[in-house]
Amino acid sequence: EIVLTQSPGTLSLSPGERATLSCRASQSVSSSYLAWYQQKPGQAPRLLIYGASSRATGIPDRFSGSGSGTDFTLTISRLEPEDFAVYYCQQYGSSPKTFGQGTKLEIK
Amino acid sequence: EVQLVESGGGLVKPGGSLRLSCAASGFTFSSYSMNWVRQAPGKGLEWVSSISSSSSYIYYADSVKGRFTISRDNAKNSLYLQMNSLRAEDTAVYYCARDGGYYNYWGQGTLVTVSS
């Protein structure tokens, strides 16, 4: 089983700032099958990024994903108030499809 | 529009059983693998079980193997999760999610509480 470790656990930033979230895998993620999700309180997760760097339908271009192998990054270029949420990475290249523990992005 | 609507959650005593349902619409249900993912209160996401489009392939997390059974009825566009021998640690919101490799559509979730 691939273990995904996200850092930091909590990130405190202000609107307009740049956010960089990390996801590290315990072994290489095949074919960059890495996704990112956003979850707000009381809501289901929403797909942001798949294939490590492809934005899902309707996702603003301030969200970008990068990385390969064992190290992946989600970047939010300029934070909007609605971006403060919890973010999860998921690898879907091997079974079971595991999630990271999440990064909480909070308003500073 | 793709819609996934879970139902069947509630309060159950330890050792009890519950059956969750997920009604799908807006897409060809029989063409997609489906999943159950859960989230304990204040915790992260945990994949629970997957079923292929024709039910030929079924997988479970170790934490539920032997206690939970996933199934589907393509004629009814529905996904199910039969949960037996429930434990306190099974308390969570249970989501159904459509499989595209990644999970591109999720239901709103149904809360299962296991408590005496």
Contact A89, A6 (CB under 8 A): yes
Three-class SS of residue B55?
A: coil
| Nearest-CA distance B87 → chain A (Å) | 22
Percent of chain B with pLDDT strictly greater than 90: 99
Nearest CB partner across the interface for A98, out of B47, B100, B109? B47
State the sign of the Cα–Cα–Cα–Cα dihedral A78, A79, A83, A88.
Answer: positive
Cβ pair B59:A95 closer than 8 A: yes
Residues B73-97, mean pLDDT to the nearest whole number: 98
Cβ pair A47:B102 closer than 8 A: yes
pLDDT of A75: 98
Cβ pair A97:B47 closer than 8 A: yes
Residue B83 clears pLDDT 90, i.e. is over it: yes
Residue A32 clears pLDDT 90, i.e. is over it: no
- DSSP state, residue A30: G
Cβ pair B45:A90 closer than 8 A: yes
The mean predicted confidence, pLDDT, of chain B is 97
Chain B residues in contact with A44 (beta carbon < 8 A): 95, 106-109
Residue A20 clears pLDDT 90, i.e. is over it: yes
Q: How many angstroms separate the CA atoms of B98 and B50, rounded? A: 10
Contact A1, A52 (CB under 8 A): no
Chain B residues in contact with A92 (beta carbon < 8 A): 101-102
Q: Report pLDDT digits (tens) over B13-65.
A: 999 999 999 999 999 999 999 999 999 999 999 999 999 999 999 999 999 99
| Nearest-CA distance B17 → chain A (Å) | 24
pLDDT of A95: 86
